[in-house]
Amino acid sequence: MVVTVVATTVSVEEERSKKKSTGGFVDEMRSVAMKLHGKDQSKGGEKETQGKPWPKWEPNIDGYLKFLVDSKLVYDTFDKIVDKADFPEYAEFKNTGLERTVNLLKDLEWFKEEGHSIPEPLSPGLDYSLYIEGLSKTDPHAFICHFYNTYFAHTAGGQMIGKKVAAKILNGKELEFYKWDSDLPHLLHNVREKLNRVAENWTRDEKNHCLEETEKSFKFNGDILHLILA
Ligand code: HEM
């Protein structure tokens, strides 16, 4: 009986990974990212983030607003970088459908109408925006790592956290941040293919350099996530 349960768990996880696999370099990026998740996180819990233990999971509106404001700043920075396309490969990532700025703007408007004041961005968002802006001008391989991790993390663990927060402090209100205009798996599939195409022209050293940046992406994004509990 125990053997049957274990076998089923493994095949469900394999199935999940297969669905997210398009082969190519994205599989390598995903694999490095998944290794940086705590065991609990990759199963949907939120006990640990790389480098920092999570305190007791008790979100509040003030902290959540700080998280949304800093997230908006970061997504806005990514949008502007790909629009400007200092390196031609960035142009591949214009209008992917994963952009979050407009949706976050709507959410912040909603909070304002509900009587909350919207805070100014704090150092986690400001520091990360400055970092990726600088990186984007000099180091496209590392920049693409941040692009992948930031957008894809939000569609996975980010969505789950959003649902938990909504249930705990927003009476289940579903924010625009967690809605996409078209089918999300389809959007993600298209972006995975674009990432693979761009990385096809990279040397092994350039690919390794990109993968090595994953840890920094976890650190910066983890600091922004921790604002939820601030
Ligand atoms: C409390 C924090 C977090 C939780 C609970 C969490 C949870 C998860 C879960 C459950 C998955 C899906 C696993 C699967 O499909 O098998 C996932 C995927 C992923 N996460 Fe996280 N995560 C967290 C933080 C982060 C951070 C800080 C980053 C980096 C910025 C990140 C990057 C990713 C990436 C790139 C994927 C793969 C998405 C895909 O393939 O579509 N996660 N996460």
Q: What is the CATH number of the domain that holds 62?
A: 1.20.910.10
Which range marks the domain in which residue 35 is found? 24-229
Q: What is the pLDDT of residues 24-42, one digit of tens each?
A: 999 999 999 999 998 777 6
In a domain, 14, yes or no: no
**Mean pLDDT, range 174-194, rounded to an integer:** 97
Q: pLDDT band at 22, cuts 50/70/90?
A: confident
Q: pLDDT band at 230, cuts 50/70/90?
A: confident
Q: Is the dihedral of CA 156, 162, 163, 165 positive or negative?
A: positive
In a domain, 127, yes or no: yes
Query: Which ligand 1 atom is at minimum distance from the Cα of 148?
Result: 35
pTM passes above 0.75? yes
In a domain, 17, yes or no: no
Can you give the pLDDT at residue 3?
A: 31
Task: Extract the tokens encoding 54.
Answer: 């999570």
C-alpha 13 to ligand 1 mean position (Å): 14
Compute the distance between CA of residue 130 and CA of residue 111 in angstroms, rounded to an integer. Answer: 26
Can you give the pLDDT at residue 139?
A: 98
Q: What is the pLDDT of residues 80-97, one digit of tens each?
A: 999 999 999 999 999 999
In a domain, 125, yes or no: yes
Residue identifier of the C-alpha nearest atom 36 of ligand 1: 153
More confident position, 51 or 145: 145
User: What letter would DSSP give residue 88?
Assistant: G
DSSP string, 99-160: --HHHHHHHHHHHHHTTPPPPPP-HHHHHHHHHHHHHHHH-HHHHHHHHHHHHHHIIIIIHH
Domain count, the chain: 1
In a domain, 155, yes or no: yes
78 closest CA partner among 151, 179, 183:
151
What residues does ligand 1 touch, defined as CB less than 6 Å away? 16, 20, 30, 33, 37, 41-42, 44, 46, 49, 149-150, 152-153, 155-157, 188, 217-218, 221-222, 225
